[in-house]
Structure 1
Amino acid sequence: MKTTILFDLDGTLLPMDQEFFMKAYFDALGKKCVSLSLDAQAMTGAIWAATKAMMKNDGSMTNETRCWNVLGGIMGDAIAGKKELLTSFYEHEFCKIGDFVTPDPRAKQCVTRLKEKGYTLVLATTPLFPRVATLERIRWAGLSPDDFSLISTYEDFSFTKPNPEYYREVLKKCNKQPDECLLVGNDTVEDMAAAKAGISLFFLTEHLINQNNTDLSAFAHGDFDALCAFVESLPDVN
């Protein structure tokens, strides 16, 4: 019996124009870098390199450690001692990007109904961001961090999507077996990897990312109204 629902964030619980988000994110981060006397262009390149390194992480260290090892290796003395100042960007400037994000009220409807039914909820967003940034993006979706028993962030995880080991790490941290869990996601590459870890899937099609034209007929799928109906059809958890 399913007892636990894993939710992707961007494009699933949080409607997201990725192109707009990335531009707004790096514009704001660039201004923060300038205020810290850092070369914004060099820092942008370093962050992309760190992101790639985290996506190849092998479990030997947290994504946070991997990220800052790469940033330090590229930026050297320029970034020394500035981790806390850079992290403060997510507490102040980053939150303003949320002013341009419109939440879908059906996300909260689904989350609320699942909690009423007794399900454990996990936010299974790929852990490339600090916790403070992930909590902020949860709020952009009209939700509360308290809605979730586990939230994956770069401080606590050592893999990322689409590595199936990321999902195994989620299972270990929430002490669940694969057949107890179902993932709701919108990316047929990043979220499909959950199936390799034995986790069932529901693909949300309203913001579907399907670069490989994957046939979804073998999986539960549909728009947000279909997801709401699916949630309503689930039995209560004893």
Structure 2
Amino acid sequence: MFKTILFDLDGTLLPMDIKVFLTNYFAKLTCHFTDIDDPSVIQRKVLASTEVMVRDNRPDKTNQDVFMEDFFVRLKQPAERVLPLFENFYNQEFAELICCTSPTPLAKEICQELAEKGYRLVLATNPIFPDVATSHRMRWAGIDNIPWEMVTTYEHCHYCKPNPNYYKEILERIGAKPAETLMVGNDTLEDLVAKKLGIKTYLVTNNLIDHGKSSYDADFEGRLEDFLNYAKTLPKIKD
């Protein structure tokens, strides 16, 4: 029986076309770096440092540490000049990106249904964004007041999807067992890789990100509205 439910955010609880979102994200972010370099160059360097962060497997370095250390070197700029530029972007323009998403009341209804039944909920969004960006997206999705056991952001996590250690770290932190955990997401690699640890998976197909032939098959599959119906069939957790 499940006791813990992990949820992806972008494309799952917060419907969006990720390509449209990222195009607009970089258009707004790089404007803050025009005194340092051309926007296209900044975007390439952000993506390169993000790739380094995603591939890193060191347990003693947070995702933020890995990204920033690499990015400072690529940009050839000190932290005291770079960090305020990111802070200004996330505190100002990032909120405007809600226009690139399609929030649905289903997200809140699903989470409330499970929370009221006693399930432990984790917002298992890929921790490549800071706390402030995740808080914005949670508000857009209408799930900011849900009693999350854990929300994964790059300040606090040491791994990214699709590294299985990302899921292992979550389970260890909250003391959950793989066999009693369900991962709900829309990505056939990043979310379904949780199966490698023995976690059951539910593939949400509304904004499906399909990487083609995969080593992992979903245990369950359906649209977000189907998952709501599934959540309603789950039993209450006894104290």
TM-score by length of 2: 0.92
Distance 1:210 1:147 in 2: 30
Q: Which residue of 2 aligns with 1:197?
A: 197
How far apart are residue 84 of structure 1 and its match?
3.2
Q: Which residue of 2 aligns with 1:2?
A: 2
Secondary structure of 1:147 counterpart = coil
Q: Which residue of 2 aligns with 1:108?
A: 108
Q: Which residue of 2 aligns with 1:50?
A: 49
Match runs of 1:89-238 below 5 Å: 89-144=89-144, 146-214=146-214, 219-238=219-238
Distance 1:156 1:164 in 2: 16
Instruction: Give yes or no for contact 2:60–2:158 (8 Å, CA) kept in 1.
Output: yes
How far apart are residue 153 of structure 1 and its match?
0.6
Amino acid at match of 1:45: R
How far apart are residue 101 of structure 1 and its match?
2.2
Secondary structure of 2:40 counterpart = helix
Residue number among 30, 38, 50 corresponding to 2:36 in the alignment: 38
Distance 1:156 1:121 in 2: 17
Instruction: Give yes or no for contact 1:72–1:80 (8 Å, CA) kept in 2.
Output: no
CA-atom RMSD, angstroms?
1.8
Change (3 A) 1:127 1:206: same
Distance 1:188 1:223 in 2: 14
Distance 1:177 1:156 in 2: 21
Instruction: Give yes or no for contact 2:164–2:194 (8 Å, CA) kept in 1.
Output: yes
Instruction: Give yes or no for contact 1:164–1:194 (8 Å, CA) kept in 2.
Output: yes
Unpaired segments ≥5 residues, structure 1: none
Secondary structure of 1:182 counterpart = strand
Unpaired segments ≥5 residues, structure 2: none
Instruction: Give yes or no for contact 1:135–1:145 (8 Å, CA) kept in 2.
Output: no
How far apart are residue 213 of structure 1 and its match?
4.6
Percent identity of equivalent pairs: 37
Distance 2:81 2:28 in 1: 21
How far apart are residue 141 of structure 1 and its match?
1.1
Instruction: Give yes or no for contact 2:2–2:179 (8 Å, CA) kept in 1.
Output: yes
TM-score by length of 1: 0.93
Change (3 A) 1:145 1:129: farther
